[in-house]
Amino acid sequence: MTVTDPRVEAGGRDAKRLTALESALAQFDRAAEHLQLAPETRAILRVPKREWTVNFPVTMDDGHVEVFTGYRVQHNVSRGPAKGGIRFHPAADLDEVRALAMWMTWKCALVDVPFGGAKGGVTIDPRSLSQGELQRVTRRFATELQGIIGPETDIPAPDVGTNAQVMAWLMDTVSMHAGYTVPGVVTGKPVDLGGSEGRADATGMGVMFTAERALAELGISLDGATVAVQGFGNVGEAATRLIHEQGGKIVAVTDVGGGVANPAGLDPARLLAHLKETGSIAGAPDTRPIDNDALMALDVDLLVLAALEGQVTGANAHTIQARVLAEGANGPVTPDADPILAERGVVTVPDILCNAGGVIVSYFEWVQNLQSFAWPADEVAERLRLVIGRAYDQVAEMRDAQGIDARLAAHAIAVGRVAEAQQIRGRYP
């Protein structure tokens, strides 16, 4: 299959990296091969069910008009409505959104929530926009998706570069068009608008729960474990804070502006305060600078990757020294890196398990919206622990019974469930 990615064609820093779509397809093919799926089932699951590309104009603050490009891809809806975030990022493109939509299908199936997989993106740098511009981009993109998204069809959520406020604008725009309030059209909303308690921290909490389980398998307690975290956004910040609260010693963190390290331990609250003040954690007091490559090569108990795809590749996997690698981001480890990590004895918590906390609590939010009944934060956290813990147990059991790695076990369970749903539903017409 030919996959075009401008970042690869340009021959830049990413020239030797597998694209997100190449990684996603390689992981799917491996699982389909392991399950011995029928060729027609593979053909159906290998491609998105539906995809849209929209180009839309937005008036900027200085009066000029800019045209932005956005995407929404629904990979599979055999198990329920499509579910997946919307990212605002300068590198967002159709192939990346296809890959992320496919991963959402497997993620929802693995944790057994009744959703299919989708993803959306707008090629834009949200940090370069004023709040007014960001709101107009969001509302116009939501309008372009009118008729595509809805509580029973396709339910967006926050992703890289988007947040609860963006979801509130999305929900309001859809509601204005509908003529009544439609809270269930998005998840990850502010709590005051029907969002779930605990949703903001959910992905990070899931990372913490699954990393804790993986460390325990190696006889390492999270309390006292040394931890390095790549990424200090929605996922990385929450994971860092929650791991710190459980006694983990955070020795290094990086974000888009740089990185900080301190072998004696970092205080996530102080990093967040510095981020709010300066726009980056770089240069926070009582720290020394560190870059991504150095962070990923640290000799730590736990390495959390909570940034973007393709961070650990065949080219740098041999530098990883962590005992456990938790994939808080989607696709941070490319397939060519997996065997190298396995050879080095690095235990990987695969992304579709590790970062599933977000979609699990999104499911809780969707259920609460449908019931018009809000659950308290401790109930959300306990249910999250149960659901992601059950998925962790199933992956571990399958991994051990079949003598395969955790990523293949996770994908085989997920792909098997979707294939089964696809076959039981039959073919129309």
Partner 1 sequence: MTRTPELDAPAAEPTFEVIRRFVVVRGVRRPLRLVRFATGWVASVETESGPSVGTDHSPYLAARRALEPLGIDLVDTLTLLGPMPRS
Residue type, 12: G
CA-nearest of 147, 135, 209, 207 to 174 is 147
Residue 12 CA to residue 110 CA, distance in Å, equals 35
As measured in angstroms, the least distance from the Cβ of 35 to partner 1 is 5
Residue 57 CA to residue 239 CA, distance in Å, equals 37
Nearer to partner 1, 154 or 405 (CB): 405
Nearer to partner 1, 220 or 418 (CB): 418
As measured in angstroms, the least distance from the Cβ of 426 to partner 1 is 14
Residue 87 CA to residue 70 CA, distance in Å, equals 10
Nearer to partner 1, 38 or 47 (CB): 38
CA angle 144, 51, 30 (to 5 degrees): 150
Residue type, 56: F
Residue 117 DSSP code = E
As measured in angstroms, the least distance from the Cβ of 44 to partner 1 is 13
As measured in angstroms, the least distance from the Cβ of 38 to partner 1 is 4
128, 132, 137, 140 alpha-carbon torsion, rounded to 10°: -170
Q: Name the residues that contact partner 1, by CB under 8 A.
A: 35-39, 41, 394, 397-398, 401-404, 412-413, 416-417, 419-420, 423
Task: Give the H or E element holding residue 76.
Answer: strand 65-76
CA-nearest of 157, 202, 216 to 392 is 216
As measured in angstroms, the least distance from the Cβ of 393 to partner 1 is 9
Given the residues 49, 83, 107, 119, the one annotated as active site: 119
Residue 173 CA to residue 193 CA, distance in Å, equals 14
Q: Does the active-site annotation cover 49?
A: no
Nearer to partner 1, 169 or 392 (CB): 392
User: By the 8 A CB rule, do 179 and 94 touch?
Assistant: no
Nearer to partner 1, 54 or 398 (CB): 398
Nearer to partner 1, 41 or 321 (CB): 41
Residue 99 CA to residue 48 CA, distance in Å, equals 9
As measured in angstroms, the least distance from the Cβ of 108 to partner 1 is 15
Residue 79 DSSP code = T
Mode of pairing for the β-strands spanning 288-289 and 347-349: unpaired
Q: Tell me which residues are annotated as active site.
A: 119
